[in-house]
């Protein structure tokens, strides 16, 4: 995955690692925000 990011966005090794960390952090933050809304819909 890192090599694909490096090639697609012309990133260094460190840049690809940081981008992957950012993608994971953003996905987790979005899921955390969805949980309360889904709990309200279940009640």
Rounded CA separation 11/18 (Å): 10
CA angle 15, 21, 22 (to 5 degrees): 90
Look up the pTM and report it: 0.78
pLDDT in tens, 1-43: 899 999 999 999 999 999 999 999 999 999 999 999 999 998 8
Domain hosting 11: range is 2-42
Looking at residue 43, its pLDDT comes to: 83
Domain total of the chain? 1
């Amino acid at each position: 995955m890192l090599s694909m990011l490096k090639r697609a966005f012309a990133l260094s090794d460190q840049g690809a690692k940081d981008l992957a960390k950012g993608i994971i952090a953003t996905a987790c933050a979005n899921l955390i925000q969805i949980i309360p809304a889904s709990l309200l819909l279940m009640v």
